[in-house]
Chain A
Amino acid sequence: MSGEGHGERVPGQIKIVQEAGLGYTLTVKREDLFKAALGLKEAGFDMFMFVSGVDYPDTIKLRYRLYSTKRKNKLNIFLKTEVPKSDPVVDSLTPIWPSANWHERETYDLFGVKFRGHPDMRRIFMPDDFVGHPLRKDYKDDHMLVKEEFIQGTVIKGYGEDNSK
């Protein structure tokens, strides 16, 4: 599969690795994401299932899941890439698969990753005037009550000394 037209489109080393929990995965740099996705579409992957962000201290990793209803083997593939937090921009895949629309809006809403070329980049779950990106690890606001210790007793932040509100 790695020889089907990929080598000409994507510069550099690309190799499809089989991991234990995920199956087949392909890791690319963020500049090569669009070309790799185009190559995968031609190889028969016609369904875009989801994109998910994972928040790390300096980077946000993105995981795309693609599925094929036409191929005979290797039906499921994960595309992995990484985006630095100082400049969280990556190419949008909506020109290739229209179903990437709402998934990329969700990743923008919850993580703050902007997708270049997306037709409608705005929030989807939170109201439009919301400030912040909730699923980042360093997100805090007044409304959340964080449950701190849950194994040895319970200490609840935001409560008074006598456990009154």
Chain B
Amino acid sequence: MGQEMSKIEEAKNLTQNQILEELEEQLRVEEIEEQPDAIKTEEMVINFGPQHPSAHGVFRALFHVNGEIVTKIEPMIGYLHRCFEKIAENRTYAQFVPFTDRMDYVSSMHNNWAYVMTVEKLAGIQVPERAEYIRVIVGELQRIASHLLFLSTAGLEAGAVSPLQYYFDERERILNLFEKVCGARLTYNYIKIGGVRADLPDGWLEEALSFVNRLKKTIVDYDKLLLGNYIFKKRMKGAGKISAEIALAQGLTGPPLRSTGVAYDVRKSDPYSVYPRFDFEVAVRFQGDNYDRVVIRSEEIKQSLRIIEQAIEQIPDGRILPMSLPKDIKPPVGEAFGHIESSRGDLGYFIVSDGSLKPYRLKIQGPSFANLQGFPAMAEGSYFADVVLTLGTLDPVFGEVDR
């Protein structure tokens, strides 16, 4: 009786995770060695079609599969090619701003910002300080919204359905804030050449601050729900591993590159706007597998909350558009390049101007295009179920891949 009582007390002290780990230790089965030439197998080619519930958009790939292991991946893109670059040659600089929203549609403020920054560089327009601070606050809120969407779809890929309900609740609050400022929920068209389109309404900053304080507490709980979960960790750790050399050779940017140990963040390497005035850190991990890519984005949410707090404290009063904004923007002849750190990586615009009202050539450097190129290198050789997870953690948005 005394022995049983101590066993029960022992069992109560162990947490659920420890119990599962102990059981796994005891139930581990010896792996059976494969006899060579026992059964003849052939490779099969499976089409992961452009319409698929977990393809994150229109993506087509051919998987060469040998048993459960994927030996070769051939990605095919171009199913959403909407000719942005050709359209840009027939619109004025200000008329093209709403089109930029539709490229990386999960974080539209960043697209607006990168394009507008390049045009301002080309035309030599100075942006007032209050507008810069508003851009930073709105950009960081957008980064948080994009990462919340990513975390819920990462959970869905691994089979966890409940985190979606919690993360989307927080995302709805951010979309509420955006709706108060510019009237739209997804494609904002808020950042204008020279500043922002409209000033913040009364009480917006207080509401944003209370949202930040709320999210600081709840994100800790949500992390324990998803990232601390035993099944999630088991599925994500060790899968889709990539080393720093291969990542640099394949041209990855953004969170996939920072998960391998290379600390390349445009906000620190090539600072723009008023970022040098804020105190924040760049999240870096070293394993390069799926789990690291998910954890980095959760860390970035916490850093963004820090930046928003500091920006709300420091924001000055003043104008939101410069005094001498020309009615028709006619930049001088030349070329310019501007880039920012969007939630997916290094987003850049390259504009060639010939002195007229319309750009001569506009080229968009999309981070999802470069990241998707590294997808075969990450996922070949792993199990079929892990390949879809790896595609998910890269976070591609096909409006940006196909432009």
Please tell me whether chains A and B touch each other in their complex, using a CB distance cut-off of 8 A: yes
Q: Is the CB–CB distance between A47 and B335 below 8 Å?
A: no
Residue of A nearest to B78 (CB): A125
Residue of B nearest to A136 (CB): B86
Judged by a CB distance under 8 angstroms, whether A126 is at the interface is: yes
> Within 8 Å of chain B (Cβ to Cβ): is A82?
no
Is A27 an interface position by the 8 A CB rule?
no
> Is A65 interfacial (CB-CB < 8 Å)?
yes
Q: Is A155 an interface residue (CB 8 A)?
A: no
Given contacts A69-B264, A150-B91, contact A21 B363 (CB under 8 A): no
Interface check B16, CB cutoff 8 A: no
Q: Given the complex, which residues of B lie within 8 Å of A19, measured CB to CB?
A: 334-335
B373 touches A99 (CB 8 A): yes
Kindly identify which residue among A99, A134, A147, A150 contacts B370, using a CB–CB cutoff of 8 Å. A99
Interface-side segment among A1-9, A10-18, A28-36, A49-57 = A49-57
Question: Considering the chains assembled together, what is the distance between the CA atoms of A19 and B269 in angstroms?
Answer: 19
**Chain B residues closer than 8 Å to A55, beta-carbon distance:** 361
Q: Which residues of A contact B248 (CB under 8 A)?
A: 46-47, 69
Q: Given A125-B78, A134-B86, are A97 and B249 neighbors across the interface (CB < 8 Å)?
A: yes
How many A-B pairs with Cβ below 8 Å? 87
Contact code string B176-207 (vs A, CB < 8 Å = 1, else 0): 00000000000000000000000000000000
A20 touches B334 (CB 8 A): yes
Q: Which residues between 115 and 165 of chain A lie within 8 Å of chain B, taking CB atoms?
A: 123-127, 134-135, 137, 146-147, 150
Q: Please name all residues of chain A whose beta carbon is closer than 8 Å to the beta carbon of B85 when the two chains form the complex.
A: 110, 135
- The answer to the question of B299 belonging to the interface, with a C-beta cut-off of 8 Å to chain A, is no
- Number of A residues near B (Cβ < 8 Å) is 36
Q: With the chains together, A124 CA to B81 CA distance in Å? A: 10
Output the least CB separation between B177 and chain A (Å). Answer: 33
- Contact A125/B249 with A76-B270, A99-B370, A146-B90 known, Cβ cut-off 8 Å: no
Residues of chain A from 66 to 117 with CB closer than 8 A to chain B in the complex: 69, 75-76, 78, 97-99, 101-102, 110
**A98 CA / B270 CA spacing, docked (Å):** 25
Nearest CB of B to A46, in Å: 5
Whether B66 is near chain A, meaning CB under 8 Å from some CB there, is no
Complex: how many Å from CA A78 to CA B339?
Answer: 14
Which residues of chain B come closer than 8 Å to A101, judged between CB atoms? 373
| Cβ–Cβ contact B78 & A124, under 8 A | yes
Given A47-B248, A125-B81: A69 and B262 interface contact (C-beta under 8 Å): yes
Q: Which residue of B lies closest to A54 (CB)?
A: B361
Residue in A20, A99, A126 whose CB lies within 8 Å of B249: A99
B86–A49 touching, CB < 8 Å: no
Question: In the complex, A50→B346 CA distance in Å?
Answer: 11
Binding site for A on B (CB under 8 A): 77-78, 81, 83, 85-86, 89-92, 95, 121-122, 248-251, 253, 262, 264, 269-270, 334-337, 346, 348, 350, 352, 360-361, 363, 365, 369-370, 373-374, 402
Would you give 9 A-B contacts (Cβ < 8 Å), ordered by A? A47-B253, A48-B251, A52-B350, A54-B360, A63-B335, A69-B264, A76-B270, A97-B251, A123-B78
Query: Apart from A23-B337, A63-B350, what 13 extra A-B contacts exist at CB < 8 Å?
Result: A21-B121, A50-B363, A55-B361, A63-B363, A65-B337, A65-B365, A69-B248, A97-B251, A125-B78, A126-B81, A134-B83, A135-B85, A150-B92
CB within 8 Å of B: which residues of A? 19-23, 46-50, 52, 54-55, 63, 65, 69, 75-76, 78, 97-99, 101-102, 110, 123-127, 134-135, 137, 146-147, 150
